[in-house]
A = this chain, B = another copy of it.
Amino acid sequence: MKFYDCSTAPSPRRVRIFIAEKGIEVPTVQIDLRNREQLTDAFKQINPQCTVPVLELDSGTCLLNSNAICQYLDETCPEPNLMGRDAEERALISSWNHHMEWDGFAAAGECFRNASRGLKGRAMTGAASIDQIPELAERGRQRLQRFLASLNERLGESEFVTGDRYSIADITAFVTIGFMQWTKQEVPANAADLQRWYDQVSARPGSVA
């Protein structure tokens, strides 16, 4: 296996934490997003969508997004389990993880990529040049506020996002919070349950990945 990473980027960070939680070692190649290495012909041979993370398997198959990569690792390196132990738990964790990804992580990305001066013409990941839409940065900010309020409520009911144990949904939510800090957004002062969870998850050794 070979893991294509960029140590400063939030999307591959989801996989880095997943790998750290598994306690496995995967040979890793850094792709220099700052200098647009993802847009080179060499990298397009690996991923025509020009994004990281990528996991290249020994068969040559390349997996091109975080969830597919984590799914493969959870099946092939089963302990500790991070994506569910039976059909119902796997589907429930997948349902929560999707919510964290679309309403949390994607909103943070919408906010950052449409506001950052360094990303003019790069408002979405991928090969195409896409103009920023300032209204979208503001919309992302509002979506994140609602997301954090609902996550705080959820974490008042259960220890972790999906229930009584840590899963991939916690990783996605945790990386979202780090990512939104890039646009100076923080856990709201009155979100005590979210803060309790964030402190707990931050203390895990894998969280520094």
Q: Are B71 and A59 in contact (CB under 8 A)?
A: no
Residue A133 at the chain B interface, CB threshold 8 Å: yes
The smallest C-beta distance from A150 to any residue of chain B, in angstroms, reads 7
From residue 73 to 110 of chain A, which have CB atoms closer than 8 A to chain B? 75-76, 87-88, 90-92, 94-95, 98-99, 103
Residues of B close to A62: CB separation below 8 A: 95
Residue A29 at the chain B interface, CB threshold 8 Å: no
Distance between Cα atoms of A94 and B126 in the complex (Å): 18
Question: Smallest CB-CB separation from A91: which chain B residue?
Answer: B72
Encode contact with B along A41-54: 1 for CB under 8 Å, 0 otherwise.
00000001100000
Q: Are B95 and A65 in contact (CB under 8 A)?
A: yes
Encode contact with B along A5-28: 1 for CB under 8 Å, 0 otherwise.
000000000000000000000000
Report how many copies the assembly holds: 2
Residue A192 at the chain B interface, CB threshold 8 Å: no
Distance between Cα atoms of A61 and B92 in the complex (Å): 8
Other CB < 8 Å A-B pairs besides A68-B92, A71-B94, A75-B91, 6 of them?
A: A57-B88, A63-B92, A67-B98, A75-B87, A131-B139, A135-B135
Give me 22 A-to-B residue pairs in the complex whose CB atoms sit less than 8 angstroms apart, sorted by A's number: A49-B103, A57-B88, A59-B88, A61-B88, A61-B92, A63-B91, A64-B98, A64-B99, A65-B95, A67-B94, A68-B91, A68-B92, A68-B94, A71-B91, A72-B90, A72-B91, A124-B143, A128-B146, A131-B139, A133-B136, A133-B139, A136-B136
